[in-house]
């Protein structure tokens, strides 16, 4: 695709901005190994520019924009994503190497996230708290300000949609640092946000390497809240960097979920789901079913279907009514 083959800059203040250091990172199609184009190699100066743009947008316009207006804008953005879903899916397919079928599902999810948060934007209500006679006590929900978002490569559109969509709906301005392996679909989605009418500076994307641009974003004193999805080790570093300026964080550090197979299960239906739960998206899913707990009576059938060895199935057990024992075995 022509878009993938470009030399891409950052997205700051609704326009392409070249990197302060002039560097670039090659975009490689992992399924073929061929070079597609490049993205900007951002650094702390680029993050400074993006945070400043977001702060200006938040304080001058976005903070005072009525929630219903934010919701309508997100709805327009959702419609544009749906219209360009095939293009976005192809970009994500080329960028991450995932099957086009999965990339199409991710584009659909991106549109749905924006649609959901569009409807939720004007429903973030405070509370009236009972107090003494003649007094009224209120709580008000207010946006954080400028939020930072570090997005991984396995589901860039989905994680972008659920974190950035929520942040913008609540009245925040955003600075996003995607994984260097998967920037194209998000840069294109940002262009669609401009087309939908998102004001300058509300959404900013700085591309580049994690230890450079990502670390600068996590440690930036101008960030009021940061969300991160990725490994526990990197998540710990993000939390430590943010703690230096008392910035709250939301961390999603993955997790593996046990799959439980009872003897009375419909194995013809269950076993394909069992396998797909670990192999879909190359196994790079935070809820990947990487452990299988099988009732002894059907152990051999399950092992034969999946060509598992005994070491691959963590545990066999007889059915029991001791729910606590089962939960403990599953690590729940």
Residues known to be catalytic: 252, 286
- Measured between alpha carbons, how far is residue 118 from residues 67, 71, 73, 249 in Å? 9, 4, 8, 23
For residue 147, list its beta bridge partners. 174, 225
Strands (E), the chain: 10-12, 15-17, 24-28, 35-40, 127-129, 137-139, 146-151, 173-178, 203-205, 225-229, 249-252, 258-261, 291-295, 315-317
CA neighbor of 118 nearest in space, from 69, 160, 80, 155: 69
- What is the rounded distance in angstroms from the CA atom of residue 119 to the CA atom of residue 73? 11
Angle in degrees, CA 255, 259, 263, rounded to 5: 170
């Amino acid at each position: 695709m022509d878009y993938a083959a470009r030399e891409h800059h950052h997205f700051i203040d609704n326009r392409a901005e070249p990197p302060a250091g002039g560097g670039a990172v090659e975009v490689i199609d992992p399924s073929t190994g061929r070079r597609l184009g490049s993205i900007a190699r951002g650094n702390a100066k680029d993050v400074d520019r993006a945070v400043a743009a977001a702060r200006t947008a938040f304080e001058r316009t976005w903070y005072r924009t009525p929630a219903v207006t934010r919701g309508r804008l997100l709805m327009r953005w959702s419609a544009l994503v749906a219209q360009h879903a095939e293009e976005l899916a192809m970009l994500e397919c080329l960028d991450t190497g995932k099957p086009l079928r999965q990339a199409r599902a991710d584009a659909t999810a991106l549109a749905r996230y924006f649609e959901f948060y569009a409807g939720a934007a004007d429903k973030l209500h405070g509370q009236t708290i009972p107090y003494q006679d003649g007094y009224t006590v209120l709580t008000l929900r207010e946006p954080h300000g400028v939020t930072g978002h570090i997005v991984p490569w396995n589901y860039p559109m989905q994680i972008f949609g659920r974190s950035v969509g929520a942040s913008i709906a609540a009245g925040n301005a955003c600075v996003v640092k995607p994984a260097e392996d998967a920037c194209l679909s998000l840069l294109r989605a940002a262009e669609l946000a401009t087309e939908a009418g998102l004001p300058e500076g509300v959404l900013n994307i700085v591309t580049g390497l994690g230890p450079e641009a990502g670390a600068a974003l996590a440690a930036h004193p101008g960030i009021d809240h940061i969300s991160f999805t990725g490994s526990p080790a990197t998540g710990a570093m993000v939390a430590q960097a943010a703690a230096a300026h008392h910035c709250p964080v939301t961390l999603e550090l993955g997790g593996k979920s046990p799959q439980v197979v009872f003897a009375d299960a419909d194995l013809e239906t269950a076993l394909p789901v069992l396998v797909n739960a670990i192999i879909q998206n190359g196994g790079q899913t935070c809820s990947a079913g990487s452990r299988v707990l099988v009732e002894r009576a059907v152990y051999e059938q399950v092992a034969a279907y999946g060509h598992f060895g005994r070491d691959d199935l963590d545990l066999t057990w007889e059915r029991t009514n001791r729910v606590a024992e089962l939960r403990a075995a599953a690590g729940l």
